[in-house]
Amino acid sequence: MLNIMIVGGGCANCKKLAEMCQELVKEQGIEAEIEKITDYNRFPELGIYVTPGLLLNDQVVSSGKIPVKSTLSRWIADAARTAERDT
C-alpha cells in the first residue's frame, strides 16, 4: 500500500496538496494511506523545512511548493508500483 504524508501546518497550499493527492489516488484506483502531519516538531525529522512537504513511501519528493498535477500523478503512480513490488 502506498503511504502518502502531507507535511504542513494546515495552510491553504497544504490543503490543496492533500486534495490533489486524494483526487489522484482515487482517479488511478490506488490503495493508499494519506496522513497529514501538522506537528511542527516532526517536520525536521521528516526532512521538511519548507511547507507544504510531500513524502511518498517515507521519501521526500517535494518541499515548499505544490507540484503540477501531471508531475504529482506520475510520482504517485511510480511510488504505488514500488510499494506494490516491495510487498
Whole-structure pTM value: 0.94
The CATH architecture of the domain made up of 14-85 is: 3-Layer(aba) Sandwich (3.40)
Question: For the chain, which residues make up each domain, given as ranges?
Answer: 14-85
CA–CA separation, 3 and 9 (whole Å): 19
Q: What pLDDT does residue 58 have?
A: 96
Percentage of residues of the chain with pLDDT beyond 90: 93
pLDDT at 12 over 80: yes
Q: Are 78 and 28 in contact (CB under 8 A)?
A: no
How much is the pLDDT for 55?
A: 99
Mean pLDDT within 24-53: 97
Res 84 pLDDT > 90: no
Does residue 31 contact residue 1 with C-beta atoms inside 8 Å?
yes
What positions carry a catalytic annotation? 11, 14
Whether pLDDT at 87 is above 80: no
Q: Which residue has 510499494 as its cell numbers?
A: 83
